[in-house]
Structure 1
Amino acid sequence: MTNIDKNTIPTHSFDWGLIKWFVTPDRTEGASVTFGEVVLLPGKGHDRHNHPESEEILYVLSGDGIQTLNDDAPFPVKAGDIIHIPTAAFHSTHNNGWEPLRLLAFYNPGGAEKGLTGLPDFKELSPGQIQDYTRS
């Protein structure tokens, strides 16, 4: 058993929000999956993308959003919803509410999170460093 102290983990910052990966194959001994919390700022979201090698499961903790999956019609998501995104399926999530949209994200197998570090708006905040929410 590994007790994970989220205060010792860096935060990934983007123009649209934040991610803290609690478990990854690179950071957690013996892990083959990735698990973390995603915060999408009001009116923001991530662009349509896919994970060619991993399925993804999202669990909505709070807030309201719009989810796309492949070329199907967008659908609303809210607290308590669970979204399964099959391997290689294109998808996006956008916050259409006034408060942050908080999600738990799970990749199987882990590793898809590495692709996010190459995005132009990626910044890594040191453990304990706090990101301010600012108005543009």
Structure 2
Amino acid sequence: MHLSPEKVTTMSFDWGSIKWFVTPSTVPGAASTLGEVIVNPGRGHARHNHPGAEEIIYVISGEAMQMVDDGEPFPIKEGDTVHIPKGAYHSTYNSTWRPLRLIVTYTPGGEEKALEGAPDFCLHAPGEVPEWTQAAR
């Protein structure tokens, strides 16, 4: 099966966006989840966990501070990989002016469904481009 970004829905949040390319609910027979996550400059996602799945993060580009298992945050950058054990609390914060691009996997897949319950969740049709507004300071 071939999947291209313009054919996949986009999840957007206050902090950035996600395109899930492979999930158990969208690809027949898939047992894991794989997607691209973009964390906007100066943004991040809140501490959370995935009780039923481990997560792997691979940094395509950018830099951020990563916390795993309530430990001290550490820097991550292009080429780094982070393993998050099943149930471990974690967060990612992009403190730079450039977007952070990540490849993320869940094993087993399905944990992405929990994101649909986030208060800032928005689902965009394939080809639709999310927009963010800059807050005045």
Q: Same fold, TM exceeding 0.5? A: yes
The whole-number CA distance in structure 1 between the counterparts of 2:28 and 2:69 is 34
Structure 1 residue aligned with 2:125: 126
Any idea what SS the aligned residue of 2:6 has? helix
Structure 1 window deviating more from structure 2 (2-11 vs 47-56): it is 2-11
Any idea what SS the aligned residue of 2:55 has? strand
The structural deviation recorded for 1:133 is: 4.1
The structural deviation recorded for 1:7 is: 1.2
The whole-number CA distance in structure 1 between the counterparts of 2:57 and 2:92 is 10
Trace 1:50-129 onto structure 2 (pairs within 5 A). Answer: 50-129=49-128
Structure 1 residue aligned with 2:46: 47
Structure 2 residue aligned with 1:15: 14
Identity %: 52
The whole-number CA distance in structure 2 between the counterparts of 1:134 and 1:60 is 25
The whole-number CA distance in structure 1 between the counterparts of 2:63 and 2:5 is 25
The whole-number CA distance in structure 2 between the counterparts of 1:134 and 1:121 is 14
Structure 1 residue aligned with 2:37: 38
Any idea what SS the aligned residue of 1:53 has? coil
Amino acid at match of 2:133: T
Any idea what SS the aligned residue of 2:19 has? strand
Question: TM-score by structure 1 length?
Answer: 0.97
* CA deviations over 1:93-132 (Å, ceiling 9, x no partner): 0101111001000000000000000000000011000123
Structure 2 residue aligned with 1:28: 27
The structural deviation recorded for 1:70 is: 1.2
Structure 1 window deviating more from structure 2 (124-133 vs 93-102): it is 124-133
The whole-number CA distance in structure 2 between the counterparts of 1:96 and 1:49 is 19
The whole-number CA distance in structure 2 between the counterparts of 1:63 and 1:6 is 20
The structural deviation recorded for 1:3 is: 1.1
How much is the aligned-residue C-alpha RMSD, in angstroms?
Answer: 0.8
Which runs of 5 or more residues in structure 2 are unaligned? none
Structure 1 window deviating more from structure 2 (10-19 vs 68-77): it is 68-77
